[in-house]
Amino acid sequence: MIEINNLVKHYGDKRALKGISFTVNDDEVLGFLGPNGAGKTTTMNIITGFLSSTSGTVKVNGHDILEEPELAKKDIGYLPEQPPLYLDMTVKEYLSFICDLKGLKKEDRKAQLDAIISMVKIGDVTDRLIGNLSKGYKQRVGIAQALVGDPSILILDEPTVGLDPNQVMEIRKLIKTLSKTHSIIISSHILSEIQAIADRVVIINNGKVAAVDTITDLSKRLSGSSRLLLSFQGPLKDVSASIRSIPGVANVVTRNSSDKLHEVEIVISNTSADIRASIFFVMAKGGWPIFEFRSLDPTLEEVFLSITSGK
Asked whether the beta carbons of 24 and 30 are under 8 A apart, the reply is: yes
Asked whether the beta carbons of 295 and 226 are under 8 A apart, the reply is: yes
Whether residue 304 is predicted with pLDDT greater than 80 in this model: the reply is yes
What are 132-165's pLDDT values in tens digits?
A: 998 889 999 999 999 999 999 999 998 887 788 8
Whether residue 131 is predicted with pLDDT greater than 90 in this model: the reply is yes
What are 200-241's pLDDT values in tens digits?
A: 999 999 999 999 998 888 887 777 678 899 999 999 999 999
Question: 50 exposed, middle or buried (CB, 10 Å; 0-12, 13-18, 19+)?
Answer: middle
Asked whether the beta carbons of 213 and 221 are under 8 A apart, the reply is: yes
- 41-45, 100-104, 163-167: the lowest-pLDDT one: 163-167
Report pLDDT for 60: 94
Mean per-residue pLDDT over the chain, rounded: 90
Asked whether the beta carbons of 177 and 147 are under 8 A apart, the reply is: no
Q: Where in the chain are the domains?
A: 2-219, 222-298
The CATH fold of domain 2-219: Rossmann fold (3.40.50)
Max Cα-Cα span within the chain: 73
Higher pLDDT, 71 or 271: 71
Give the C-alpha separation, 301 to 121, whole Å: 31
Q: Residue 116: how many CB atoms within 10 A of its CB?
A: 18
Angle at 51 between CA 308 and CA 208, to 5 degrees: 20
Closest CA relative to residue 7, chosen from 300, 165, 221, 204: 204
Residue 60 φ then ψ, to 5°:
-110, 110
| pLDDT (average), residues 37-52 | 90
Residue 198 φ then ψ, to 5°:
-85, 140
For residue 273, name the pLDDT band (cuts at 50, 70, 90).
low
The DSSP-derived string for 88-124 is TSBHHHHHHHHHHHTT--HHHHHHHHHHHHHHHT-GG
Report pLDDT for 270: 65
For the domain with range 222-298, which CATH number is right: 1.20.1050.10, 3.30.1180.20, 3.10.129.10, 3.30.70.1340?
3.30.70.1340
What are 73-103's pLDDT values in tens digits?
A: 999 999 988 888 999 999 999 999 999 999 8
Report pLDDT for 27: 85
Break the chain down into helix, strand, coil percent, rounded to 5.
40, 30, 30
Whether residue 310 is predicted with pLDDT greater than 70 in this model: the reply is no
Report pLDDT for 259: 82
Give the C-alpha separation, 61 to 43, whole Å: 18
Residue 188 φ then ψ, to 5°:
-160, 150
Report pLDDT for 311: 54
Q: What percent of the chain has pLDDT over 90?
A: 60
